[in-house]
């Protein structure tokens, strides 16, 4: 099957091809000209005037979330991707995402909360200082990276929507634009891609909404202009190009779980002791390294997040 093959075909070589500097800069200049902060969307503002602050990439505050591990090369982070909306080969997202227009962008907020509505990206993030966070990133396919994200913690953003006591889970949905996303023209997954977290997971200080990497706006292939980053979970939980956030009472459906429930659970915490039905999760290949390394429980974040799962059987709730 297509999906299963592609999940296997992941190992091996990091493509040496990189985004040419000129292409990268011309895109950034286009974004600057388009006015990252001037998206003229008629959407309600959560914030008091002057609300629609531009996202300020020139003033990124450095966070305490750092690692004593070298960053993965930017070329690898931006050319070795999983983003099936643009194809299933690792190089496809960088190659096929040139027609995707990440701006203007708005996010539909719905469900069990006091302030549902459509919010421009700048309204969601603009009142926070962007910060950078270096996290380990571990794909279920047993490769990993160390990525410097730029964005804001998820919890405070969610709190401003006033989740009700019925909000037990948070759902996320990726944009559906088959014209700009050629992979969506094929039945690779049940589009649009959806993900979810339990509300306490979403509120955890490690959960992050990224709008950039390496100090710059997210390239399309990495989930522009807004993606989730949940560093203690397998990479597929970190849903890209998010256009919808919902508060739900029941556990929301998630794409890989729908596609293959035996292989991909709702929680999908990185766990070296719980094998994937078709391969071991004990080790991983850090992109750029030759030798494999041991995978850490919850990707090395067990001290921070372990208590979220106290009393749960992690073999059963995978
Ligand atoms: N919408 C969407 N989000 C997605 C995916 C995808 O195919 N579609 N792939 C996931 C998987 S499997 C991984 S490992 C990460 C990859 O993120 P990266 O390409 O920025 O490293 O994105 C996740 N988010
Ligand atoms: Mo992944």
Q: What are the pLDDT digits (tens) for 90-100?
A: 999 999 999 99
Residue 8 within any structural domain of the chain: no
Please answer whether residues 218 and 147 qualify as being in contact, where contact means their C-beta atoms are separated by less than 8 angstroms. Answer: no
- Is ligand 1 within 6 A of the CB of residue 231? no
Structural domain count of the chain? 1
Per-residue tokens: 277: 């039905």
Distance 134 CA to ligand 1 centre (A): 17
Contact by Cβ (8 Å): 194, 173: yes
Query: Quick one: pLDDT band at residue 21, thresholds 50, 70, 90?
Result: very low
Q: Is the CB of 142 within 6 Å of ligand 1? A: no
Kindly report, residue by residue over 156-202, the tens digit of the pLDDT. Answer: 999 999 999 999 999 999 999 999 999 999 999 999 999 999 999 99
Among 81, 86, 90, 79, which Cα is nearest to 182's?
86
Between CA 146 and CA 135 the distance in angstroms is 6
In a domain, 152, yes or no: yes
pTM surpassing 0.85?
Answer: yes
**Nearest atom (ligand 1) to Cα of 222:** 20
In angstroms, the CA 305 to CA 318 distance is 15
**pLDDT per residue as tens digits for the range 261-276:** 999 999 999 999 999 9
**Token pair listed for 261:** 């429930």
Question: What is the CA(108)–ligand 2 centre distance, in A?
Answer: 25
> Using the 8-state DSSP alphabet, how is residue 296 labeled?
P
Assess whether the C-beta atom of 100 lies below 6 angstroms from ligand 1. Answer: no
Query: What is the 152 CA–ligand 2 centroid distance (Å)?
Result: 22
Q: Where are the alpha helices (DSSP H) in the chain?
A: 2-8, 21-34, 74-79, 92-96, 121-125, 154-159, 199-203, 255-259, 302-305
pLDDT of residue 53: 56
Contact of 193 with 174, CB cutoff 8 Å: yes
Question: Scanning the structure block, which residue is given the tokens 């200082």?
Answer: 129
**174 Cα nearest atom in ligand 1:** 1
Mean pLDDT of 221-225: 98
Q: What is the CATH number of the domain that holds 38?
A: 3.90.420.10
pLDDT of residue 30: 35
With a 6 Å cutoff on the Cβ, whether 7 touches ligand 1 is no
Q: Confirm whether 108 is domain-assigned.
A: yes
Ligand located closest to 85 CA: 1
Beta-strand pair 61-62/208-213? unpaired
Average pLDDT over residues 135-160: 98
The answer to the question of residue 76 being in a domain is yes
- Using pLDDT thresholds of 50, 70 and 90, give the confidence band for residue 40: very low
From CA 234, how far away is CA 243, in angstroms rounded? 21
Containing structural domain, residue 115:
16-309
Q: Tell whether ligand 1 has an atom less than 6 A from the beta carbon of residue 144.
A: no
Q: How far is the CA of 187 from the centre of ligand 2 (A)?
A: 18
Within a domain: 6:
no
Task: Name the maximum alpha-carbon separation found in the chain.
Answer: 54
Q: What is the mean pLDDT of the chain?
A: 88
- The count of C-alpha atoms lying within 13 angstroms of the C-alpha of 224, restricted to the half-sphere facing its C-beta, is 25
Q: Is residue 5 domain-resident?
A: no
- The answer to the question of residue 1 being in a domain is no
Q: Phi first, then psi: what are they for 53, rounded to 5°?
A: -70, 140
pLDDT for 25 equals: 30
| Residue 184 belongs to some domain of the structure | yes
257 contacts 266 by C-beta, under 8 angstroms? yes
- Please check whether residue 276 is in contact with residue 263, taking contact to mean a CB–CB distance below 8 angstroms: yes
Instruction: Tell me, in angstroms, the distance from the centre of ligand 2 to residue 141's CA.
Output: 6
Q: Compute the average pLDDT of residues 118-132.
A: 94
Rounded to 5 degrees, φ, ψ at 312 are -90, 140
> Rounded distance, CA 195 to CA 185, Å?
20
Q: Tell whether the torsion through CA atoms of 117, 123, 129 and 133 is positive or negative.
A: positive
| Position 14 pLDDT exceeds 90 | no
- C-alpha neighbours within 13 Å on the C-beta side of residue 121: 27
- Does residue 123 line the site of ligand 1, with CB under 6 A? no
């Amino acid at each position: 099957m297509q999906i299963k093959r592609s999940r296997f075909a992941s190992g091996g070589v990091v493509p040496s091809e990189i985004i040419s500097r000129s292409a990268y800069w011309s895109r950034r200049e286009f974004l600057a000209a388009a006015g990252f902060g001037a998206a003229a969307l008629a959407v309600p503002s959560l914030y008091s005037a002057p609300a629609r602050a531009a996202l300020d990439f020139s003033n990124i505050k450095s966070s305490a979330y750092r690692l004593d591990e070298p960053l993965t090369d930017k070329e690898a982070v931006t050319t070795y991707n999983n983003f099936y909306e643009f194809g299933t080969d690792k190089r496809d997202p960088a190659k096929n995402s040139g027609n995707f227009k990440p701006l203007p962008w708005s996010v539909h907020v719905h469900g069990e909360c006091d302030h549902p509505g459509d919010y421009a990206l700048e309204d969601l993030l603009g009142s926070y200082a962007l910060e950078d966070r270096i996290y380990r990133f571990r794909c279920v396919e047993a490769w990993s990276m160390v990525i410097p994200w730029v964005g804001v913690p998820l919890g405070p953003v969610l709190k401003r929507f006033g989740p009700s006591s019925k909000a037990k889970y948070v759902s996320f949905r990726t944009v559906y634009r088959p014209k700009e996303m050629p992979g969506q023209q094929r039945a690779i997954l049940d589009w649009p891609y959806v993900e979810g977290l339990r509300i306490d997971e979403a509120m955890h200080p490690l959960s992050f909404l990224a709008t950039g990497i390496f100090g710059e706006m997210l390239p399309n292939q990495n989930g522009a202009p807004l993606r989730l980053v949940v560093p203690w979970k397998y990479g597929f939980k970190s849903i890209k190009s998010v256009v919808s956030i919902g508060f739900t009472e029941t556990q929301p459906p998630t794409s890989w779980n729908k596609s293959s429930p035996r292989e991909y659970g709702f929680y999908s915490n990185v766990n070296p002791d719980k094998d994937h039905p078709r391969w071991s999760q004990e080790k991983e290949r850090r992109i750029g390294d030759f030798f494999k390394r041991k995978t850490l429980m919850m990707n090395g974040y067990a001290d921070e997040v372990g208590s979220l799962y106290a009393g749960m059987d992690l073999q059963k709730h995978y």
